[in-house]
Amino acid sequence: MFRKTMMTLAAVALGAGTASAHVSIQVKEAPVGSTYKVVLQVPHGCEGKPTNVLRVQIPEGVIAVKPQPKAGWTLEKVRGAYAKSYDYYGTPTNEGVKEVVWSGGSLADDEYDEFAFRVYLTKDLKAGETLYFPAVQECSEGLAERWIEIPAAGQSADDLELPAPGVKLLEATGGH
Amino acid sequence: MKNSVRGDHAFMALLAGIVWLCLTSIAMAHASLTSAEPADGAVVQVAPQRFSLSFSEPVSPLALKLVRPDGQTLALDTFVLRDRTLEIEPPEGLSPGTYVLSWRVVSEDGHPVAGSAVFSIGAPSGAAPAVTEADDWPVRVALWIGRVGLYAGLFFGIGGVFASFWLLRGSDRGGACFAVVIVVGLAGTILSAGLQGLDALGVPLSGLFDSIAWRAGLGTSFGRTVIVMTAALLLAALATLPRLKPWGHWLACVALLAGAGALALSGHASAAAPQWLTRPSVFLHAATIAIWIGALLPLAKAVRDGGTGAEEALRRFSLFIPYAVAVLVVAGLVLAVIQVEHPAALVETAYGNVLLVKAGLLLVLFALVAVNRWLLTKPALAGETTAVRRLLRAIVVETVLVLAIFAVAATWRFTPPPRALAIAAAQPASFHIHTDKAMADVTISPGRTGPVTVSAIVMTTDFGALDAKNVSFVFSNPAAGVEPIRRKAFKPGDGTWQVDGLVLPLPGTWTVRLDVLISDYELARLQGEIAIRP
C-alpha cells in the first residue's frame, strides 16, 4: 500500500511538474467566445542570466488584446492585420495587436514574475484544442530562451524541449 | 475486502488530486547546466583531479557516464552534491585522448535533463587513418602473381615484339620466347579480372569459379584495363604470325600503344589528380618501359647469334634507348611526387617503402646499363668474344633485375599511396535532412573521429534560401551512451552555418540534430543520422 501510494505520488508529481517547468500560462483552461486573462509565468532567466525582454506572439483568432503595464518595463504593442475578420460582440474586427513586448526590465534568474494581458477568444477557435502563445525570453549577453515549439500531430508538449505556453480551449458557455 | 480495495483507490485519487493541485500552483523551473569542469571542448594537459557540473537549479543525478577514447563507457558512481554543483570523482589512470562526460539529471520539476561535455587530455584523439584491406593472403598472392604476369606480358611480350620489328628490323628474334610471355601475360591479365572481383567482394579464392567474381572484377575500372590489355596482347601475338608479317610493324605499334594505355585506365597512379598529368605519365612510363625492356630479349638473342644484324640492332638500341629511359624516368618521377606528397611518407608508408626498394633496384639496373653502354657495347660491336659474352651475361642479369622490379611494383596493388591515404582520411561525411519545415545538407569533415568541422546549408523545402536567425548543432550517440553535445553555429560568410573544433570521440552512428531558428517564433528541428569512421 505504502509503496503503491508513493508510486502514484511520484507519477503525479512527474506529470504535473513537466507541465509547469517552462514559461507557462497560469490558468490553463478557458472557454471560447469569452474574455480571458493570459498570465505568463517566468520562472527563470536564460542559463543563469537575467531576463530583459519578454515577447509573446498573439495567435490568430485571439483579438482585443490589452496588455497590463508593468512597473520597470516598457510595453510595446505590435499591431497588424488579421488573416480574416472576427466578430467582437457584433463589431467586425480585422486588425489589432499581434505581438506584445515587455522590455527594459531586469528579472534575475533567481526571481519569479508574471506578465499579463487580457484577450478575447473568438468563437472561430475550436474548443478541445490547445491554443499556444509562443513566448521569447531575451536575456543579457545576447542569450535567449524561446518557448516557441508547438507539438505536431501525435506529439505532446512533454516531448518538446521548448514548448510554447498553451491554454486548453473549452466549449463556449451558453449565452450571457 | 472489496470495500477496502475501493477505499484504497478513492484515497489515492484524492491524494493524487491534492498533490497535483499543490504542484501546479508552484512555478517550477527546469535545470540547465551553467558550467562544467573540464569545460565542454576543453583540452587539459593532465588528467583532472575531479569533474564538476553546475546547474541553475538543484538537481539529483540519474546517470553519470564517462565515455573513454576507446569507446568504453564507465559509470561514475562517486559524487557529492554541493548546493547546485555536482562534484564527481574521476576514475583513476585516465590516459591521454578524448573523453565524453555524459550526464542525465532530474531537477525539482521532475523533468530529466541531459547533456555532454567533451574534453581531451593532452590532445584530441584523432585515430590514425585506417584503410582496411581484406587480409586474404591466397587472394593477395594470386593477385600479385597475376599482376607480375600482366607486366611480363606487356613489357617482355608486347615490348619484345615491338623491339623485334622497330629496333631489329623485323628479324625474327625470339619467336617462341614471345609466344611464352604473351601467353603468360594473357593468363595473368585475364585471371586478374576474377581475382580483382574476389578482392572487391571479399570472397576467398574458391569463389573464382563463380561468375559473380568475374562480373564484379570487370565492373571495376580495372576491368577496362583487362579488356584493353587482352586485346593488346592478342595484337602482339598476331604481329608474330609469318602470314601477317607485312603488317607486323603497325600491329606491334598499336599493341604497344594499347598496352601502355591499358595501364593508364586504372590503378592508384591513374586515379590521382591532376588527371591530365597522371594518365599521360602512366602511359609514357609504361610505353617507354616496354620499348626498353622489350628490347632486352631480342637483343640478347641477336648478340648471341652475332652477324651484321646484331651490330645494327645494338647500335640502334644504344642510340634510341637513352631517350626512352629519360622519358621513363621523368614520367616516373612525376608520378612519385604526386603520389608520395611528402618525403617523410617514403619512410612512413608501405607505398613509400615499395617506391624506395624499386628505386634502389632501378639504380643498380642503371649502373649495369651504364657499364654495358660505355664499357661493353663498343668492344662487342667490334666483335670481341669476351665482350660479347659479358654483354650477354649483363643482359641476363638486367632481365632478372627487371623481373624483380616488376615483382616489387606489383605489390603496389596492395599499398594505397600516401595521397590516397590522406584523401581517405580527410573524406567528409555528409547527409541530407528533409522535414516539412526546412531541409539541410550537413557535412562533417573529416568524417571520422577526432577534431571535425561541421557545416550545413539550410534551405527551404523548395530549395530556396533560408535566412535563419541562428542554428545550433546537437550531436548524440545513444548507442555509446553519449548524451547531447550542443554547439552554436556561426556564419563564416559563404551561406553556410559552421561549427569548428568539435571533437567526435567515437566512431559509429551519430544522431545529428539541427535546431534552426527560422524566425523569432519559428524553430525547425532537423534530425538525421550519420556514420562516423574510426
pLDDT digits (tens, 9 = 90+) for A119-130: 999 999 999 999
Residues in chain A, overall count: 176
Please list every residue in chain A whose beta carbon sits closer than 8 Å to the beta carbon of residue B56.
Answer: 44, 47-48, 109
Give CA–CA dist B260/B270, Å, rounded: 12
Nearest to B332 by CA among B366, B266, B285: B285
pTM for the predicted model, two decimal places: 0.55
Start-to-end CA distance of chain A, whole Å, equals 48
Phi, psi of B260 (to 5 degrees): -65, -40
**CATH at residue B490:** 2.60.40.1930
Instruction: For residue B304, give every residue at least 6 positions away whose Cβ sits within 8 Å of its Cβ, in sequence order, or none.
Output: B388, B392
Phi, psi for A155 (deg, rounded to 5) = -105, 155
**Residue A123 distance to chain B (closest CA, Å):** 25
Q: Are B526 and B497 in contact (CB under 8 A)?
A: no
Q: Judge: B520–A146 Cβ closer than 8 Å, yes or no.
A: yes
Q: Which has the closest alpha carbon to B35: B109, B89, B86?
A: B86
* Preferred mutation among A14, A20, A29, A150 to probe B, highest tally of B CBs within 10 A: A20
CB contact under 8 A, B111 and A9: no
B115 forms beta bridges with B103
CA-based nearest residue to B97, from B44, B140, B58, B20: B44
Q: Considering only CA atoms, which of B101, B85, B90, B83 is closest in space to residue B40?
A: B101
DSSP, res A50: P
- B75 within a domain of the structure (yes/no): yes
Interface test with B, best of A1, A28, A39, A44 (most B CBs within 10 A): A44
Q: Where in the sequence is the domain holding B455, given as residue range(s)?
A: 427-532
CATH code, B43: 2.60.40.1220
For residue A109, pLDDT beyond 90: no
The pLDDT > 70 percentage for chain A reads 86
Contacting A with CB below 8 Å, chain B residues are: 8, 12, 15-16, 19-20, 23-24, 26-30, 32, 34, 56-57, 108-111, 517, 520-523
Q: Which tens digits make up the pLDDT trace of A122-151?
A: 999 999 999 999 999 999 888 888 999 988
Do A24 and B522 make contact, defined as CB atoms within 8 angstroms? no
Q: What is the ipTM of this complex?
A: 0.75
**Fold annotation for A21-170:** Immunoglobulin-like (2.60.40)
C-alpha cell of B361? 633496384
Kindly report the backbone phi and psi dihedral angles of residue B169, in degrees, each rounded to the nearest multiple of 5, phi listed first.
55, 40
User: Is A13 in contact with B110 (Cβ distance < 8 A)?
Assistant: yes
The residues that bridge with B74 in the sheet, in sequence order, are: B66
Q: Where are the beta strands (DSSP E) in chain A?
A: 24-25, 29-31, 34-42, 51-57, 62-67, 74-88, 91-103, 113-121, 130-132, 135-139, 144-147, 166-170
Q: Please give the pLDDT value at position B13.
A: 57
Instruction: Write the pLDDT tens digit of every residue in B229-257.
Output: 999 999 999 988 888 778 888 999 999 99
Classify residue B22: in a domain, yes or no.
Answer: no
The verdict on a CB contact (< 8 Å) between A136 and B20 is no
Determine, yes or no, domain membership for B23. Answer: no
> Which of B441, B449, B453, B445 minimizes the C-alpha distance to B427?
B445
Of A5, A19, A24, the CB nearest to B15: A5
B29 min Cα distance to partner chain A (Å)? 5
Task: Indicate the domain borders of chain A.
Answer: 21-170
Rounded to a whole number of angstroms, the distance from the CA of B523 to the nearest CA of chain A is 7
Which of the residues in chain B have pLDDT under 70? 1-30, 108-111, 126-135, 170-175, 307, 420-421
Same domain, B406 and B487: no
Angle of helix B308-340 versus helix B350-371 axis, rounded to 10 = 160
Q: Same structural domain for residues B59 and B162?
A: no
Judged by a CB distance cut-off of 8 A, whether residue A108 touches chain B is no
Of the candidates A36, A120, A130, the one whose C-alpha atom is nearest the C-alpha of residue A82 is: A120
Contacts of A4 in chain B (CB under 8 A): 8, 12
The C-alpha cell 590522406 sits at B422
Number of domains in chain B: 3
> In this complex, do B19 and A12 lie within 8 Å of one another by their Cβ atoms?
yes
What distance, in Å, lies between the first and last C-alpha atoms of chain B?
Answer: 63
The DSSP element (H or E) to which B54 belongs, if any, is strand B51-55
- Please check whether residue B238 lies inside any domain of the structure: yes
Scanning the structure block, which residue is given the C-alpha cell 661493353?
Answer: B376
Dihedral sign computed on CA atoms, order B319, B321, B324, B330 = negative
Instruction: Please tell me the predicted confidence (pLDDT) of residue B317.
Output: 84
SS3 B254: helix
B389, B421, B453 - which closes a domain: B421
Q: Residues B41, B33, A27, A100: is their CA dihedral positive or negative? A: negative
Mean pLDDT score of chain A:
85
Q: Is residue B18 part of a domain?
A: no
Note whether A112 contacts B523, CB cutoff 8 Å.
no
Query: In this complex, which of A20, A43, A149 lies closest to B523 when CB atoms are compared?
Result: A149
Chain A residues whose CB is inside 8 A of the B12 CB are 4-5, 8
The answer to whether residue B389 is domain-embedded is: yes
Is residue B162 within 8 Å of B291, Cβ to Cβ?
A: yes
Q: Are residues B103 and B205 in the same domain?
A: no
Non-local CB neighbours of B330 within 8 Å, separated by 6+ positions: none
Q: Which of A13, A41, A112 sits opposite B23 (nearest CB)?
A: A13
- Chain A residues within 8 A of B84 when measuring between CB atoms: none
Looking at the complex, report in whole angstroms how far the Cα of residue B505 sits from the nearest Cα belonging to chain A.
Answer: 25
DSSP track, B326-346: HHHHHHHHHHHHHHH-STHHH
Q: B203 lies in a domain?
A: yes
Whether B27 and A149 lie within 8 Å, measured CB to CB? no
Is residue B329 domain-shared with residue B409, that is, in the same domain? yes
* Inter-chain residue contact B109 with A18, CB threshold 8 Å: yes
Amino acid occupying residue B399: T
With cell 517564433, the residue in question is B521
Between CA B148 and CA B169 the distance in angstroms is 29
Question: How far is Cα B441 from Cα B497, in angstroms, rounded to an integer?
Answer: 10
Q: Is the dihedral of CA B373, B375, B380, B386 positive or negative?
A: negative
* B417: CB partners within 8 A, 6+ apart: B268, B269, B272, B339, B340, B349, B351
**Interface contact A47, partner B, CB < 8 A:** yes
CA distance A101 to chain B (A): 12
User: Burial code of B59-84, b = ≥16 C-beta within 10 A, e = fewer?
Assistant: bebeebbbbbbebeeeebeeeeeeeb
Same domain, B41 and B158: no
- Give how far Cα B95 sits from Cα of A55, B44, B67, B428, B534, Å: 49, 12, 12, 28, 18
User: Using alpha carbons only, what angle is made at residue B16 by residues B14 and B19, rounded to the nearest 5 degrees?
Assistant: 110
